[in-house]
Amino acid sequence: MLNVTINDKDVSVETGATILEAARSAGVQIPTLCNLEHLSPLGACRVCVVEVEGAKALMAACATPVRDGMVIHTNSPRARTARKTVVDLLLSEHEGNCQYCDRSLDCELRVLSFDLGIQEPMYVGAKPGGQADFSTPALVRDGEKCVKCRRCVTVCNEVQQVGALFPQYRGYETVIGPAFAMNLDDVACVQCGQCAAVCPVGAITERSHMEGVWKALADPDLHVIVQTAPAVRAALGECFGMEPGRLVTGQMVTALRELGFDGIFDTNFTADLTIMEEGTELLTRLKGALAPDDPQLPPPALPMFTSCSPGWIKFAEYYFPDMLGHLSTCKSPQQMFGAIAKTYYAEKVGVDPAKMVVVSVMPCTAKKFEAARSELADSGFQDVDFVLTTRELGRMIQAGGVDFASLPDGTMDSPLGYSSGAADIFANTGGVMEAALRTAYELVTGRELPVDNLHVAPVAGLEGVKEAEIQITAPLPDWAFLDGVTVRVAVAHGLGNAAAVMRAVRSGERTYHFVEVMTCPGGCIGGGGQPRFTTDAVRLARINAIYREDEGKPHRKSHENPDVLELYASFLGQPLGEKSHHLLHTNYEARARV
């Protein structure tokens, strides 16, 4: 332990801690810009400078480890002046109009400027400018607002290992962007939106679908229905100042009703449906590998990887084109919902699917890209018409004059609104795996998954790659070939972790039967469309809220959802049956990286 003094307070910290960490542990806030938790400090922006007694130069708190006996002043006149100068310079190059900006309510630059008491431009000169990039379906980049903090570069390269963004050119000419400052669709961006999630300003954000949704809602000829992803209910409250981890499912439903949707449904419903399809697909693959009906046939690819996360799918299409056969053919719950809504539900309510508009509310930007994939239109109509992020829904509720906090709880509509707890946990890293195991284990053995409270503890939590083994004993006669088999599973979140698992599988270093991948750190609860700013503390609060939602449900296994069973009985037939195959499954295409 080291002892230091921060603003006259005595503080003990672990050896190796930075000044920033020491200050935070003592409740002293130091503003930061380029710094991101758990990632190597860049020390680039110098917003975090502090004065250390005895040192000539000011120190970047995020990048300076404390030494024993250090006397630190975070708010001395010198530190404040320097910080102000740094922010003044950033503002002098920043081309923005807060009143028109997507970030006017949560912009870190605006807050910095306000907190430092900057009231007028100190430096006036040429601004480097920058272009707007509308090239992709999910994201909009506005180079004029970029303050070159490089957070997006760190996330895109280190966490996602995509490397779509990198500083181009040098000095005053530097542009943070894709190769040669071209557009995002000129490089292998997977549309995950993690760059937008960490950007402190309005330089990267989602492509808005709000206008389209408002128009559809106002059109009396259209039947406009909405589905909400599991992760939204654990984060939407943050748009209204509630603490992270507040569950607002019921209020969300009421708010959607007030906005005028004709049906309020749940992506959870099709998450349960996904488990039925994906679980059956897994068991079919296991059978093909371990006890094939026809040993002449090539064995199916194992491990099978989940396919709910569209950023992950695009990543695999770019980086692992040789392994696309390992991806489950199941469409994601969002797309299954659209396909079922425009067939089964349309028939049931007697609405022409041509006049039906399916809106999704997602924690994700890549879902906008996914909804636009031309092959996802098996009903004859695009499965999903508009995708709102959690943030966009928050803004629509606000704009709709709805006082969210005072809303009573509502319930989702039938027949696509009821879900089991297994569907809720799709929001968390490890959740799809847990949900699949709850169902597959029981299908195979006739017994409940023998873990505490149905939670598969080894695959929960924020560890990057998690593994678990499940021993199958005394299966039902149909599954006799699984007797004594140890099923090995893995869970990865963040694409860098997913890539590590893929490489280990490809080389044979690791063998699994089933792997869950979620694109975003923490899973969907940490998606690129969630309220900013998502730290690990926020991730954990949302994760725990989702587990609470699961535990409170009357049904906690997908195969017990009565409405899903009814859907099979009256429409689909059986999992992996002909109709399912047509409506609920898809295929993937290799993509050129550059």
Partner 1 sequence: MHVQTAQTVAPLDQALVDSLDAYIREHQEEAGNLIPVLQYAQSAFGYLPEDVLKHISEALQISYSEVTGVVTFYSFFSTVPRGKHIVRVCLGTACYVRGGKEVLRAFRETLGIDVGGTTEDREFSLEVGRCFGACGLAPVVMVGDDVHQRVKPSGVKDILAQYEGVNA
List the alpha helices (DSSP H) in 298-402: 310-319, 333-340, 346-349, 366-371, 390-399
Smallest separation, CB 119 to ligand SF4 (Å): 14
Site track for partner 1 across 96-135, x = CB under 8 A: ---------------------------------x-x----
β-partners of residue 515 are 305, 490
The maximal CA–CA distance of the chain, rounded, in angstroms, is 79
Q: Which phi and psi angles does 410 have, rounded to 5°?
A: -120, 175
d(CA 464, CA 579): 37
Q: Which of 113, 307, 309, 328 is catalytic?
A: 328
Span of 30-38, 84-92, 180-188, 305-313 interacting with partner 1 by CB under 8 A: 180-188
Span of 76-84, 171-179, 327-335, 579-587 interacting with partner 1 by CB under 8 A: 171-179
330 is catalytic: no
Q: In what order do the strands lie in the sheet with 223-228?
A: 263-266, 223-228, 356-362, 386-389
328 is catalytic: yes
Q: Give the CA distances from residue 540 to residues 25, 179, 533, 547, in Å, rounded to whole numbers and listed in that order.
A: 19, 35, 13, 11
State whether residue 259 is helix, strand or coil: helix
Q: Which of 278, 392, 434, 560 is catalytic?
A: 278
Residue 33 or 273 having the CB closest to ligand FES = 33
CB of 206 within 8 A of CB of 365? yes
Site track for ligand SF4 across 316-355, x = CB under 6 A: ----------------------------------------
Residue 13 or 204 having the CB closest to ligand SF4 = 204
Site track for ligand SF4 across 174-193, x = CB under 6 A: --x------------xxxxx
* Identified binder of ligand SF4 from the candidate list 11, 82, 199, 256, rule CB under 6 A: 199
Smallest separation, CB 374 to ligand SF4 (Å): 20
Structural tokens at position 243: 């603490």
Residue 507 or 587 having the CB closest to partner 1 = 507
367 is catalytic: yes
List the alpha helices (DSSP H) in 388-528: 390-399, 421-424, 431-445, 495-507
Q: Residue type at 142?
A: D
Smallest separation, CB 245 to ligand SF4 (Å): 25
d(CA 340, CA 345): 6
* Identified binder of partner 1 from the candidate list 48, 61, 107, 187, rule CB under 8 A: 187
Asked whether position 223 contacts ligand SF4 by CB under 6 A, the answer is: no
Residue 173 or 589 having the CB closest to partner 1 = 173
β-partners of residue 139 are 206
Smallest separation, CB 61 to ligand FES (Å): 6
CB of 353 within 8 A of CB of 380? yes
Residue 154 or 194 having the CB closest to ligand FES = 154
Quote the strand ranges of 9-110, DSSP E: 9-13, 49-52, 59-60, 71-73
Q: Residue type at 88?
A: D
d(CA 478, CA 246): 44
Asked whether position 492 contacts ligand SF4 by CB under 6 A, the answer is: no
Site track for partner 1 across 151-170, x = CB under 8 A: ------x----xxxxxxxxx
Asked whether position 235 contacts ligand SF4 by CB under 6 A, the answer is: no
Q: Which of 317, 370, 434, 516 is catalytic?
A: 370
Span of 93-101, 341-349, 409-417, 448-456 interacting with ligand SF4 by CB under 6 A: 93-101
* Residue 44 contact, options ligand FES, partner 1, ligand SF4, none, Cβ 5-8 Å cut-off depending on partner type: ligand FES
Taking the alpha carbons of 246, 248, 251, 257 in that order, is the dihedral positive or negative?
Answer: positive
List the alpha helices (DSSP H) in 116-227: 151-154, 194-198, 210-218
Asked whether position 162 contacts ligand SF4 by CB under 6 A, the answer is: yes
Structural tokens at position 91: 């503002």
State whether residue 429 is helix, strand or coil: coil
Question: Which residue's entry shows tokens 């503080």?
Answer: 11
281 is catalytic: yes
Q: Which of 84, 145, 331, 367 is catalytic?
A: 367
Residue nearest ligand SF4, Cβ-based: 96
211 is catalytic: no
370 is catalytic: yes
Q: Which of 34, 419, 524, 560 is catalytic?
A: 524
d(CA 91, CA 89): 5
Q: Which of 14, 375, 566, 578 is catalytic?
A: 375
The CA R_g of the chain, rounded to the nearest whole Å, is: 25
Residue 120 or 243 having the CB closest to ligand SF4 = 120
d(CA 439, CA 315): 28
Smallest separation, CB 147 to partner 1 (Å): 18
Q: Give the CA distances from residue 53 to residues 57, 101, 329, in Å, rounded to whole numbers and listed in that order.
A: 10, 41, 62
List contacts with ligand FES (CB under 6 A): 32-35, 43-48, 60, 62-63
> Residues with Cβ < 8 Å from 260, sequence gap 6 or more?
217, 224
Applying CB under 6 A, the residues found at the interface with ligand SF4 are 94, 96-98, 101, 103-104, 107, 109-110, 139, 145-152, 155-156, 160, 162, 164-165, 176, 189-195, 198-204
Applying CB under 8 A, the residues found at the interface with partner 1 are 129, 131, 157, 162-170, 173, 175, 177-182, 187-188, 593-594
Catalytic residues: 278, 281, 308, 328, 367, 370, 375, 524
